[in-house]
Amino acid sequence: MVGPPFAVAEKAATYLLRALPKPEVAVVLGSGWRAAAEELGPAEVTMPMAYLPGFVAPTAGGHAGVVCSVRAGGRSVLLLEGRSHLYEGRTPSEVVHAVRTAVMAGARTVVLTNAAGSLRTDFQPGQVVVVRDHINLTGASPLSGEEPPAPYGSRFVDLTDLYCARLREVARRAGPDLPEGIYAALPGPHYETPAEVAMLRAVGADLVGMSTALEAIAARHLGAEVLALSLVTNLAAGVSLEPLDHAEVLAAGDRAAARLGRLLAELLPLL
């Protein structure tokens, strides 16, 4: 990213608001969730992320790299289709740039979706899990580096209610059977060894993935409320007897797309 991250995000928010309506809710569509957006109806405006300052074209499969505006339940919703990851060689500031931009543009609620590996045999592929909390094992923070400029809050941000109880309650109204789980964020892109999976279970994680945690921290730092939803696409190494395959991860997402879309369509008006 060229320039100080908060200033670049402010500029990107200004550009975004020239082309798209002011968002109330931002939804990051991770792997497996992109096709779900079709259930939300046609986009009012679509723009390639690359048009916005500081955005880089995602390289991971299943990530399109567009932003679009849809109306859902009377709300203006900004869909961020595609995200950047540390494993693409992006910096933490780049990873959270889209979320920061969306919050600076007006979104007070951020919904982060992802695909994740399951550390529990009772969370099988196809299961959606509401993230109750995370364990950030990436070794990174979006708040490292220069101090956030005024008017933004202290870099020493409190994360007690990061995945806020209010939004988790709302998610349960849209999907009464949705379980909650702890998401461990790792840098990837390799999957875990069985020994690492045993460690993750021992420290209390239910899910493992390579995204979401830094975005949640950045959104919370800017005062937004955060909800995160994981689609289980595989059992983590050693939980499953099968070797992990990225194509299967994407296929599991495709199979779940319509169901995920209906969940989002029911959820968004309640937020």
Output 107 or 208, the one with its CB closest to ligand 8IG.
208
According to CB under 6 A, which one of 72, 226, 249, 257 is a site residue for ligand 8IG?
Answer: 249
Distance CA(114)–CA(230), nearest Å, equals 5
Active site residue 210: yes
DSSP β-ladder status, 66-72 and 75-81: antiparallel
Residue 234: active-site member: yes
Minimum distance from CB of 31 to ligand 8IG (Å)? 6
State which residue, 67 or 210, has the beta carbon closest to ligand 8IG: 210
Q: Would you call 140 a catalytic residue per the annotation?
A: no
Quick check: 210 binds ligand 8IG (CB under 6 A)?
yes
Name which of 114, 138, 238, 145 is nearest 187 in CA terms.
138
Type of residue numbered 47: M
Contact between 17 and 53 under an 8 Å Cβ cutoff? The reply is no
115 is catalytic: yes
Q: Do 126 and 45 touch, CB atoms closer than 8 A? A: no
Contact window for ligand 8IG (CB under 6 A) among 55-63, 100-108, 110-118, 127-135: 110-118
Is residue 182 a contact residue for ligand 8IG (CB under 6 A)?
Answer: no
Q: Applying CB under 6 A, which of residues 84, 109, 138, 234 lies at the interface with ligand 8IG? A: 234
Asked if 148 is part of the footprint of ligand 8IG (rule: CB under 6 A), the reply reads no
Cα-to-chain-centroid distance, residue 44: 22
User: How far out from the chain centre does Cα 52 lie?
Assistant: 19
Is 182 or 271 the residue whose CB approaches ligand 8IG more closely? 182
One of 102, 236, 264, 271 touching ligand 8IG (CB under 6 A): 236
Annotation says 144 is catalytic: no
Question: In sequence order, what DSSP letters do the residues of 9-28 get, joined into one string?
Answer: HHHHHHHHHHHSPPPSEEEE
Q: What Rg, from alpha-carbon coordinates, does the chain have?
A: 17
Helices assigned H by DSSP within 105-243:
165-174, 194-202, 213-221
| Choices 88-96, 103-111, 115-123, 259-267 (CB under 6 A): range interacting with ligand 8IG | 115-123
The backbone region for 86, taken as left when phi is positive above 0, alpha when psi lies in -120 to 50, beta otherwise, is alpha
Please indicate whether residue 211 is annotated as part of the active site: yes
Q: Is residue 208 at the binding interface for ligand 8IG, with CB under 6 A as the rule?
A: yes
DSSP β-bridge partners for residue 181:
131
Q: Binding to ligand 8IG by residue 129, rule CB under 6 A? A: no
Decide if 88 is catalytic.
Answer: yes
CA within 13 Å, CB half, 66 = 13
Q: Which of 76, 87, 198, 251 is catalytic?
A: 87
Catalytic annotation, residues: 31, 63, 85, 87-88, 115, 210-211, 234, 246
The site for ligand 8IG (CB under 6 A) is made up of 115-117, 186, 188, 191-192, 208-210, 233-234, 236, 244, 249
